[in-house]
Amino acid sequence: MSNLYYDEIDSPIGALLVVFHGDDIVRIDYGTMEIMEQRLKKWTERYFTEPVFIKSPDKAAPVKRDFDDYFNGESKAFSFPFTFHGTPFQKQVWQVLYDGIPYGKTTTYKDIAIKIQNPKAVRAVGGAVNKNPLSIVVPCHRVIGSSGKMVGYNGGLDKKEYLLTFEKNNAS
């Protein structure tokens, strides 16, 4: 049995569902446990033995502070530990997203494919970006199409536009 702790954090773009395994964050999704529970169960069953969800506002308090600082424009990065759970290819893409896209900037799926030394993997990169388990922290919202247009975002294009505008306005 695997205990997974969670809490819901209010943000300017709606509720964020934060899930921990031990001290590490393993997922951050848009929505509440009520909305996300079935999808979350399906995901966690791939990586954890008999997952049990336990609401834990105390455990989430430092994460909430980090998100408050981010959305108040006081911090451009997050300090809490996290762990990726996915395929080796997905983890490679997510690491490039995390390490390689500066706050307030954007990149393209093609640029990421080139960074992972697999320039023909643009569609596969798009699939990995779409499966990013750590919304906002791993900044998939900073990925745009090669044409410069906004393209899909799990949280919805309205949230993506909000985050990009917010970061651009607070980048200096």
pLDDT in tens, 79-127: 999 999 999 999 999 999 999 999 999 999 999 999 999 999 999 999 9
Structure confidence at residue 27 (pLDDT):
97
CA 158 to chain centre: 16
Whether pLDDT at 150 is above 80: no
Cα separation, 66 vs 71, in Å, equals 9
pLDDT in tens, 14-23: 999 999 999 9
Catalytic residue of the set 60, 140, 144, 163: 140
- Summary mean pLDDT of the chain: 93
pLDDT band at 78 (very low <50, low <70, confident <90, very high): very high
What mean pLDDT do residues 50-54 have?
Answer: 94
Structure confidence at residue 13 (pLDDT):
95
Per the annotation, the verdict on 140 as an active-site residue is yes
Using a cut of 0.75, tell me whether the model's pTM lies above it: yes
Strand 16-21 and strand 2-9: pairing?
antiparallel
